Amino acid sequence: MALRNILTDNHPVLRTRAQEVKKINSVVLRLLDDMIETMKESRGVGLAANQVGVSKRIILAVDSVDEEEKIMELINPVCENKEGENIGMEGCLSVPGCYGEVPRAEKVIVTAMDRAGKKFRLEAEGFLARILQHEMDHLDGILFTDKATRILDPEELQSEEQI
């Protein structure tokens, strides 16, 4: 495994629609492992492949249940359904030092493939649903700052989690 650089400053890859993964091969598996290491190192709770410069439809999302943290890997994720609305705080490893309030669906149903190529369906709500929507936006070249209804003033900044 190796750490990858996280793109910032509106890098063109962050603004480009990422491509579907056609085949899960050793390159994709290595990318997943590197993304996990990079996300952990950066204390992120989600990461999209194009944030590390690879224009492929792959995201990670951390599901925190009680004290346990489970890293979910989603290849070619598709949002099948959205329900409700929830406004919450977001930040992003690709937009360092910036936080804002972003409206998202409260619940989502997402289908994707795991690293074995098996399709699965995920129902998520609350913060996990928010992470998934934020990361899937990355794959379409969208940053949270595009959707934020309010960006925090620097003095309001605390140690918000970055997704």
Active site residues: 135
| Cα(86)–Cα(103) distance, integer angstroms | 6
148 sits near Zn ion (criterion: CB under 5 A) = no
Say how far residue 159 (Cα) sits from the centre of its chain: 19
Q: Is the CB of 92 or the CB of 122 nearer to Zn ion? A: 92
Exactly one of 92, 98, 108, 136 binds Zn ion (CB under 5 A); that residue is 92
Q: Give the amino acid at 97.
A: G
Question: Cα-flanking dihedrals φ and ψ of residue 43, to 5°?
Answer: 55, 40
CB of 116 to Zn ion, least distance (A): 26
CB of 95 to Zn ion, least distance (A): 7
Say how far residue 63 (Cα) sits from the centre of its chain: 12
- Name the residue with tokens 């998934």: 132
59 sits near Zn ion (criterion: CB under 5 A) = no
CB of 93 to Zn ion, least distance (A): 6
Q: Is the CB of 92 or the CB of 108 nearer to Zn ion? A: 92
